Amino acid sequence: MDCTKVKETLFLFFDNEMDQTDQSQFEKHLSDCPQCARRMRYTRQLLILVRRSCGRQAAPTALRLRIVTRLRLGRGAQTLH
């Protein structure tokens, strides 16, 4: 599994929708790749924030998060507000 694949499947991991094989490859990649490990931690934080701020309403959390992250990644990593 490479960084691109990890990025694409990150949300499956958080949604517990990843299959076992992918998940073990995913976790192996994280332990080898500080960049993805950091993204993972960051995404987890974001997920917590999103859940806290929007409760149970509206878009499913994973979808919201996917949108937010895509916007943010599109502008680079420095757009934390």
Candidates 12, 66, 69, 6; CA nearest to 32 is 6
The residue (of 33 and 68) whose beta carbon lies closer to Zn ion is: 33
CB-CB contact of 50 with 65 (8 Å): yes
Which single residue is written with the structure tokens 């701020």? 53
The residue (of 36 and 47) whose beta carbon lies closer to Zn ion is: 36
The residue (of 3 and 54) whose beta carbon lies closer to Zn ion is: 3
Q: How far is the CB of 64 from Zn ion (least distance, A)?
A: 24
Give the integer Cα–Cα distance in Å for 76 and 53.
Answer: 23
CB-CB contact of 56 with 43 (8 Å): no
Per CB under 5 A, 36 contacts Zn ion: yes
Per CB under 5 A, 73 contacts Zn ion: no
Per CB under 5 A, 54 contacts Zn ion: no
* Site for Zn ion, rule CB under 5 A: 3, 33, 36
